[in-house]
A and B are shown apart, each in its own frame.
Chain A
Amino acid sequence: MKCNKKYDFFAYQKRNISPVLLREIENHIAGCDKCRNVSMQVKLLEMAINEQKLIRPDAFMSQRIVAKITNRQSFAGILRPMPAFAIIILLALFVGIGIGIFATKSSQQTIEVFSWNDQEQEVIEMAFLNEN
């Protein structure tokens, strides 16, 4: 069944509406499956919310909070976990780049290797060719 009525079932569940509207909704949901279901689901949701409202932090939480903040204060600006981690990563990066540059430079050193194809030899080779 399609029903376009838009009642506030949250207010209805708390009986936070006028007696006239209350009677109207009650008459309506008696004959409307969809609205009866919504009203029931809203009631269940209210119960779930009320249940969650009963949750309290444990008795020592405030002590833990104060201890954590005091602890943090004593380390303030010196070695907080995130900056320390960032510094280590940056140092590792610089050391890595340094090693890389040093290794590249040392491998680029020119070593003189004598070869038969050196320019001086070519002249002789040409001389042999000319002889033939």
Chain B
Amino acid sequence: MDDFSFLLEHIKNNNEQAFVRLVEAYNGMVFQLAFSFLKNTEEAEDLTQDVFLSVYENIGQFRNESSLKTWIYRITVNKSLNRQRKLKWCRFFRPIGSVPSDDKNLITEDTNPQYAVLNKELKAKLTNAIDNLPERQRTAFTLYKYQDLGHQEIAEIMGLSVSAVESLIHRAKQNLQAALAEFR
């Protein structure tokens, strides 16, 4: 079963086992989405913990207006965007030599020869093009490309209409293609 909404009542009644099941079911999804925004495993893990803490603390306010999965997605997107904004400021003030080791857990050329053509620098350059998109386009594109979500689901997460999401994804692709045209 994809959605674990049936755990909801148990979690609201402080059933720790139910919460453990929820974490086990969704921690991969939350981590992956956080990583696709933050591009750093430590930050993604920290954010994942933060998301589940929020879920635990605010589960009483969840009113079944959307599915539990959509609600968790929404929390993750909001927290990821906030963290991304914070990290941009931190990077601005950080000395040049102290860049953290991003992509630590990435599958590299050594572990997967299929991707030997993509070196780390090129990957960073390509994915930075996504980071430079406007916030709503970036969110819609990330959910579409990294999470393989449909337009309807993205619309629910972002609180927009399906046509608005289609338009955001279309503009994101056009902007990305324009940015990629500069690369050689």
Contacts and interface: CB of A to CB of B under 8 A. Distances in A.
Contact of B53 (A44, A52, A69): A69
Contacts of B112: 51, 54
A128 B44 CA distance: 92
Interface in A40-55: 41-42, 44-45, 47-49, 51-55
B180 A38 contact: yes
Given A44-B118, A52-B39, 12 more contacts: A8-B173, A38-B177, A45-B176, A48-B126, A51-B106, A52-B106, A55-B106, A57-B44, A62-B20, A66-B16, A69-B56, A72-B53
Interface of B: 16, 19-20, 23-24, 27-28, 31-32, 35-36, 39, 41, 44-45, 48-49, 52-53, 56, 105-107, 112, 115, 117-118, 122-123, 126-127, 129-130, 145-146, 173-174, 176-177, 180-181, 183-184
Interface of A: 6, 8-10, 34, 37-38, 41-42, 44-45, 47-49, 51-57, 61-62, 64-66, 68-70, 72
